[in-house]
């Protein structure tokens, strides 16, 4: 008489349990397209994936910072171009005013320069996303403050912003400030005061002042403004290059992650079929042995 041994039962049960777990895992891979859904599926690969995901999130934050910095430079560039237009016209008014043949013409130029001064102050105090663009680290306080006479005309402009500029981490080891420097902002204030001198010289029909101190001050400011515009343009170029690098790295991280996590459906389907067959064979083999042992026992 033969009866199924305890060891045989344990072995069969263990084999069926293992095959059942393998079936479930392969079925999950086929349905989700993922080779890893739990850390236990492949601890080593899962560890790599977690590291890749951490780096991917960091790259995404870099790109968000880069996008915000790019928007700030675009807004600053636009405001500086407006100031550059004012500077160009101021240079023209020096020539026109010094050669004006009538007091009426000179006064008309003086009124225009006064309007340009107000336009400059508005541009210099431009806000983006409720923060001042040309205030350095002081983004919540008006950076360019005007003193006015009893008639409301600007008599001087002072810069009251920060000496330094905020920086953004826009890539691996790449920190960029999309703002103008404190020195450049002070130069903008100097330009504003040169406009004051231009208006006053035109008002008093002082052609000597126009062709000497005013013209010299405006020319220096013109050079400073061009330099600031060029600096912002260079920052935009650097941001664009960093963004391209970030995108390339992001794609690489996605590919590396897919290599570890994505299932090869063709291979996985074959493995699932083989596992199903092995499971079925184990069941049938176990049933036959159990049946034979029972017949021997009954006989």
pLDDT tens-digit readout, 249-278: 988 887 777 666 654 445 555 555 665 665
pLDDT range class, residue 165, cuts 50, 70, 90: very high
- Is the model more confident about 202 or about 287? 202
- Is the model more confident about 110 or about 276? 110
Which helix (DSSP H) or strand (DSSP E) does residue 148 occupy? strand 144-148
CA distance linking residue 106 with residue 282, whole number of Å:
106
Transcribe 32-96 into DSSP letters.
Answer: HSBS-SSGGG-HHHHHHHHHHHHHHHHHHHHHHHHHHHHHHHHHHHHHHHHHHHHHHHHHHHHHH
- Poorest-pLDDT segment among 60-64, 119-123, 192-196, 261-265: 261-265
Residue 264: the pLDDT is 46
Residue 239: the pLDDT is 96
Whether residue 213 is predicted with pLDDT greater than 60 in this model: the reply is yes
Q: What is the gyration radius of the CA atoms in the chain, in angstroms?
A: 38
CA distance linking residue 174 with residue 292, whole number of Å:
75
pLDDT average, residue stretch 239-254: 90
Domains of the chain: residue spans and CATH: 51-255 (1.20.1330.10)
- Poorest-pLDDT segment among 17-26, 57-66, 203-212: 17-26
- Is the model more confident about 100 or about 35? 100
pLDDT range class, residue 152, cuts 50, 70, 90: very high
Whether residue 299 is predicted with pLDDT greater than 60 in this model: the reply is no
Residue 170: the pLDDT is 95
CA distances, 212 to each of 37, 108, 154, 176, 225 (Å): 77, 21, 22, 39, 20
CA distance linking residue 242 with residue 118, whole number of Å:
38
Residue 57: both structure tokens together: 């999130």
127 - beta bridge partners?
132
CA distance linking residue 90 with residue 83, whole number of Å:
10
- Poorest-pLDDT segment among 31-45, 89-103, 183-197, 225-239: 31-45
Residue 53: the pLDDT is 81
Whether residue 4 is predicted with pLDDT greater than 90 in this model: the reply is no
pLDDT range class, residue 34, cuts 50, 70, 90: low
Instruction: Determine the 3-state secondary structure of 155 from DSSP.
Output: strand
Whether residue 110 is predicted with pLDDT greater than 90 in this model: the reply is yes
Are 224 and 184 in contact by the 8 Å Cβ rule? The answer is yes
């Amino acid at each position: 008489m033969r009866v199924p041994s305890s060891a045989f039962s344990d072995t069969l049960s263990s084999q069926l349990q293992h095959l059942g777990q393998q079936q479930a895992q392969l079925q999950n891979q086929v349905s989700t397209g993922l080779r890893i859904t739990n850390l236990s599926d492949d601890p080593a690969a899962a560890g790599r994936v977690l590291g890749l995901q951490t780096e991917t999130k960091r790259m995404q934050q870099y790109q968000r910072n880069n996008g915000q910095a790019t928007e700030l430079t675009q807004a600053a560039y636009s405001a500086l171009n407006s100031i550059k237009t004012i500077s160009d016209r101021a240079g023209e008014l020096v020539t026109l005013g010094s050669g004006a043949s009538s007091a009426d013409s000179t006064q008309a130029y003086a009124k225009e320069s006064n309007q340009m001064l107000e336009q400059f102050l508005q541009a210099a105090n431009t806000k983006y996303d409720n923060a001042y663009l040309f205030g350095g680290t002081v983004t919540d306080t008006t950076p360019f403050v005007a003193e006015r006479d009893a008639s409301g005309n600007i008599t001087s402009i002072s810069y009251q912003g920060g000496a330094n500029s905020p920086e953004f981490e826009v890539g691996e080891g790449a920190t960029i400030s999309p703002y103008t420097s404190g020195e450049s902002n002070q130069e903008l204030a100097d330009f504003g005061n040169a406009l004051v001198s231009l208006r006053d010289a035109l008002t008093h029909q002082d052609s000597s002042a126009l062709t000497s101190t005013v013209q010299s001050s405006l020319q220096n400011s013109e050079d400073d403004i061009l330099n600031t515009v060029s600096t912002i343009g260079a920052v935009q170029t650097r941001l664009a290059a960093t963004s391209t690098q970030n995108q390339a790295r992001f794609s690489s991280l996605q590919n590396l992650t897919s290599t570890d996590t994505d299932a090869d459906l063709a291979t996985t389907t074959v493995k699932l079929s083989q596992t199903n067959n092995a499971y079925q064979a184990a069941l049938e083999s176990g049933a036959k042995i159990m049946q034979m042992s029972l017949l021997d026992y009954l006989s």
